[in-house]
Amino acid sequence: MAEKNLRATHAPAQKTSLAGKIFLGVVAAYLLVPFLATLVYSLFVEWTDILPSGFTLRNYQELFTNTVFWASIGRTLVLCLVSVAITIVLILLAMYVVVAVNRKVAPVMQFLCMIPYALQGVILSIGIISLYTGTGTILSNRMFMLFGAYTILVLPYIYQGIRNALNSIDAGMLIQAAEMLGCGRFRAYVQVVLPNILSGILVSSLLAESIIFGDFVLANNIAGTNYQNIQVFLQANMDVSSGLSSAVVVVIFVVVALVTALVLKLQGAAQNNAKEQA
């Protein structure tokens, strides 16, 4: 009798789990359809009928031998790394003030970090160009303008991720406990709080990386061909060959997927280390 009750208790959970897996599978398949269609289009000469015809690797051969393409990939990765790193450092320093010095500045901090949501790419790029062009300083350099623009662009996303991570561990309480044991505030923030929110920092970085990889407006308006990122390269080749453009999109997807896998692996390692220390 007890075994029957136990089976009856676990049966709904199994059904729910199976339904959830089916739902996730359907969503994943739906999201992958555009990518698969683009992949097929890049591997064939034409697709004017139900099935494509003329299998070829010419698009990828042409792409992988193009030094401009590799340069644009490298520039985009540099933009991601530098801009995200600058934003994370600034947010972490600002959040130290919020959680350890004066919590009353939290609403002001949140308001300032949410402002970039209202700044469209065209408005932001024109404002930066108008403000810094011709000043004769290092900020008039188009590359530095682009780094600054992306730092502003990803600011809300990284702020939200770090703030949620700090709230989930009650950072203020951890710092107070560390102070009672004789540890300074900033040292407690660096050695106690930051290791516990590393997972949140990595997830925020992942979101910011995908945003920068998908941006065209800022890169085109601020730098253009002077510092061509992957989206500007894609736009320049869309009129040349649709098959080549499809190959570029496929490579972008693969690069972003590899970066995502790396970040998720680092996140998993950080979580395992936190569990071991606990």
DSSP labels, 130-142: HHHTTS-SGGGSH
- CA atoms of 107 and 67, how far apart (whole Å): 48
> How much is the pLDDT for 16?
55
For position 33, what pLDDT does the model report?
87
Per-residue pLDDT of the chain (278 residues; tens, 9 = 90+): 444 443 444 444 444 577 878 888 888 888 888 888 888 888 888 777 777 778 888 889 988 998 989 999 988 889 889 999 999 999 999 999 988 888 888 899 889 888 888 777 788 888 888 888 877 788 788 888 888 899 999 999 999 989 998 988 888 888 888 888 888 888 889 888 888 888 888 888 888 888 888 888 888 888 877 778 888 888 888 877 788 888 998 988 888 888 888 877 877 776 676 666 65
What angle (nearest 5°) sits at the alpha carbon of residue 191, between those of residues 189 and 192? 70
pLDDT at 259: 81
Whole-model pTM above 0.85? no
Where do the domains of the chain lie, and which CATH numbers do they carry? 2-55 (no CATH), 66-277 (1.10.3720.10)
| Residues facing residue 55 across a β-bridge | 44
Torsion sign (Cα): 122, 125, 127, 133: negative
Phi, psi of 274 (to 5 degrees): -65, -40
- CB of 76 within 8 A of CB of 213? yes
pLDDT at 270: 64
**DSSP 3-state of 215:** coil
Q: Among 166, 55, 63, 56, which Cα is nearest to 110's?
A: 166
C-alpha dist (Å) from residue 76 to 3, 37, 162, 170, 212: 59, 25, 24, 36, 8
* Cβ contact 161:203 at 8 Å: yes
Q: How far apart are CA 21 and CA 10, in angstroms?
A: 17
